[in-house]
Amino acid sequence: MNDASAARVQRRSLENAPVRVVSARANLPTRLRNLWERHELLTSLIFSDIRIKYKNSTLGIFWSMLSPALTLGIYYLVFSVITKNGYPNFALYLFSGLVVWNMFVTAVNMATGVIVDRAGLVKKVSFPREILALANVGASVVYFSIQLSVLCLFLLALGHAPAWGFLWILPISFVALYLLTASVAIVMSAVTVYLRDMRHLMEVLLQLWFWLSPVVYSYQNTISQRLHDHGLTWMYFLNPITPIIMTFQRIFYVKTTVLSTNPPHPVIAILPTWSMSSFAMMNITLLAITIVLFLLSLTVFGRLEGNFESEL
């Protein structure tokens, strides 16, 4: 008996343990703190997501490079070989836009159904539910890094130097991309619980979104003049992923005006000729907007998560 009480004294000094409060609604700072406290779980989920995705495939994680490479090949074939858009080094142009788009679309696609798919977990284990969506975003960051490294190898192989002076904008642009992706992923994961059709609708919406972004075509070369004539340029730039894609293209594709590969070789404008400071300003503004979006998405998620239990 003495042993037991000694153990009791030695163990459990709970007086100083932190107090956690479960109440109707957690405010934003609490949500952020809870998220931060569980970053180990986030890491764990990211890598289990990746492992599960490639578990039973022969090529494994190699697919995260192979499938974008095949997509890139298809677009190259269609736009450069068949319809002859005349952009030199078109593969590089495509690649710099696709890394951005892939990161966004992979995460959003996965996250849209994630809470519904993992209902068993959501109903039985306690953790900040946003982590499920954030894990999907995290996994796509991993794929993004792999693709970005391949892009760098690509540059090296082509002997094509990136725009060194612009390179410092890349991290800002990436953080904005991350926050944008996370915001959309978090909101969609919660909305799908209430509207199961979202999953199917999202597939179409993302298609539309893709064509509204200058990935396979050049904004400058195709629609900028017409939009400008109608005073609708601002509308095109409402799409928050467009400035990010343009920044990546500016950094990796570098050239704003090029000589067409189609005879008789006219000069075509591919990218806006904005200065470095305008690119920087654009990205910093976008970063500020996406921070607000991210906080907003957490608030929306907090509102929606209260009834998950009865909806799942």
Partner 1 sequence: MVTVIDVENISKQFKIHHERSQSLKERLLHPRSGSTEVFSALKDINFTVLSGETVGILGHNGSGKSTLLKCICGVLQPTSGQIRLRGNLAALLELGAGFQTELSGRDNVYLYGAMLGLSKRGVDAIFDDIVAFSEIEHFIDTQVKFYSSGMYVRLAFAVAVNVDPDILVVDEVLAVGDERFQAKCVDRIRTFQEEGRSILLVTHQADQVRALCDRAIVLDGGLMIANGPVQESLRIFREHLLEDAVEHDRAGHQAEVAIDSVTTPSGSFDVRSGAGMHFDVHISSHTAYSGNFVMELFTRSGMLVSRSDAQGSPVNLKPGANQVGVDLAQIPLLDGVYDLNVGVVDYHGTVIAWKEQAASIQVTYNGREGGVVELGASIQQL
Residues that bind partner 1 (CB under 8 A): 4, 7-8, 11-12, 14-15, 17-25, 38, 40-41, 43-45, 48, 51-52, 55-56, 120-127, 194-198, 201, 305-307, 309-311
Min dist CB 85 to partner 1, Å, is 37
> Nearer Cβ to partner 1, position 99 or 135?
135
> Nearer Cβ to partner 1, position 35 or 91?
35
> Nearer Cβ to partner 1, position 128 or 243?
128
Determine which helix (DSSP H) or strand (DSSP E) holds 117, and give its type and residue range: helix 114-117
> Nearer Cβ to partner 1, position 122 or 286?
122
Q: How far, in Å, CA of 36 to CA of 69, rounded?
A: 35
| DSSP state string for 286-303 | HHHHHHHHHHHHHHHHHH
Min dist CB 113 to partner 1, Å, is 13
Question: Residue 290: how many CA atoms within 13 Å on its side-chain side?
Answer: 25
**What end-to-end distance do the CA atoms of the chain give, in Å?**
48
Min dist CB 114 to partner 1, Å, is 13
Contact criterion met (CB below 8 Å) for 305 and 129: yes
Question: Residue 190: how many CA atoms within 13 Å on its side-chain side?
Answer: 21
Q: Where are the beta strands (DSSP E) in 76-215?
A: none
Q: What is the b/e burial string over 275-287, where b = at least 16 CB atoms within 10 angstroms of the residue's CB?
A: eeeebbebbeebb
> Nearer Cβ to partner 1, position 20 or 230?
20
Min dist CB 37 to partner 1, Å, is 8
Min dist CB 58 to partner 1, Å, is 16
> Nearer Cβ to partner 1, position 11 or 230?
11
Contact criterion met (CB below 8 Å) for 214 and 245: yes
Min dist CB 97 to partner 1, Å, is 31
